[in-house]
Amino acid sequence: MDNNQVKVIEAKDLRLVKNKQEIFSIESFSLKKGEVLSLIGPNGTGKTSLLLTLALLQSPSQGTLYFKDRKITKDKIIFLRRQMAVVFQEPLLFDTTVEQNILAGLKIRGIAKKEALERADWWMSRLVIKHLAARPARHLSGGEAQRVNLVRALVLEPKVLFLDEPFAALDYPTKNTLLKEMGLLLRETRQTTLFVTHDYTEIPFLTEKVAVMYQGKIIKNASIKEIFGPEILARNKSLKVPWP
């Protein structure tokens, strides 16, 4: 099998119910190795709940999850969580320096100090925060904190990166710059990524494929041009949303 056709994450007949209310019902879903897929839809449609389930941070009510074609069982969850990384909208940083924040996850994963420092240095350089290494995290701006948050995930070199609206709280100039930098990084490293957003103007920076979620179901899964038309490349905020 072509290495790029390997399904890193796959879900079948996945369903989540909370307080007798169905949050989502997904017949099938997969994320291939090296793929960057945007998951979009209106607020409250189950995007974050699906991301948390795929990232093994919550259990589904029904269905089966696979990692590289192998069924995920309870005894494998802790091990597989360490193959993944999640970035949320709000940076939850430790009250230490930037560098110590970035090294923390590597230490937990047992990465040797020399390698950890080399990885941290490389990723800090790539997202232009090396000059912040010794700064206390509490003294960072919102944009700087989110850069640290992203580096803290990327430095782990995860098999799957989950991004849950990481750019939503940023001002437009900061968001625009960071989206361009992240798009370039994800293409260069071929980092397998699921990117959740409700702002579809962010999509062309990072991905070429889109899954559209509406009322707890994935109703479309195609290229951005198939879903939005060529106008999406102009990042036109007046585009019609691809759901009812």
Report CA-CA distances (Å) from 132 to 99, 117, 129, 136, 186: 8, 15, 5, 8, 22
Does any domain span residue 219? yes
Write down the pLDDT at residue 3. Answer: 62
Range of the domain at 197: 3-234
Counting the structural domains of the chain, the total is 1
Q: Is the dihedral of CA 160, 184, 179, 141 positive or negative?
A: positive
Write down the pLDDT at residue 240. Answer: 62
| pLDDT(149) > 90 | yes
Burial class (CB in 10 A: 0-12, 13-18, 19+), 178: buried
| pLDDT single digits (tens) 30-65 | 999 999 999 998 889 999 999 999 999 999 999 999
Residue type, 14: L
Does any domain span residue 240? no
Place of tokens 């072509």: 2
Q: How many CB atoms are located within 10 Å of the residue 221 CB? A: 17
* Of 44 and 116, more confident: 116
Phi-psi region of 3 (alpha: psi -120 to 50; beta: other; left: phi over 0): alpha
Write down the pLDDT at residue 32. Answer: 96
Write down the pLDDT at residue 51. Answer: 98
| pLDDT single digits (tens) 220-232 | 999 988 888 765 5
What is the pLDDT of the chain when averaged over all its residues?
92
Write down the pLDDT at residue 192. Answer: 98
Which CATH number goes with the domain that contains 73?
A: 3.40.50.300
Write down the pLDDT at residue 234. Answer: 52
What residues pair up with 239 in beta bridges, in sequence order?
Answer: none
CB 228 within 8 A of CB 209: no
Q: Within 13 Å, how many C-alpha atoms sit on residue 16's CB side? A: 24
The torsion of the CA quartet 219, 225, 228, 233, rounded to 10 degrees, works out to 140
Write down the pLDDT at residue 145. Answer: 97
Write down the pLDDT at residue 225. Answer: 85
pTM of the complete model: 0.93
How would residue 1 be classed by pLDDT, with cut points 50, 70 and 90? low
The rounded distance, in Å, linking the Cα atoms of 242 and 212 is: 7
| pLDDT(241) > 70 | no
Does any domain span residue 42? yes
Does any domain span residue 239? no
Write down the pLDDT at residue 239. Answer: 55
Burial class (CB in 10 A: 0-12, 13-18, 19+), 187: middle
| pLDDT(235) > 60 | no
Does any domain span residue 242? no
Give the whole-number percent of the chain exceeding pLDDT 90: 84
How would residue 238 be classed by pLDDT, with cut points 50, 70 and 90? low
Does any domain span residue 91? yes
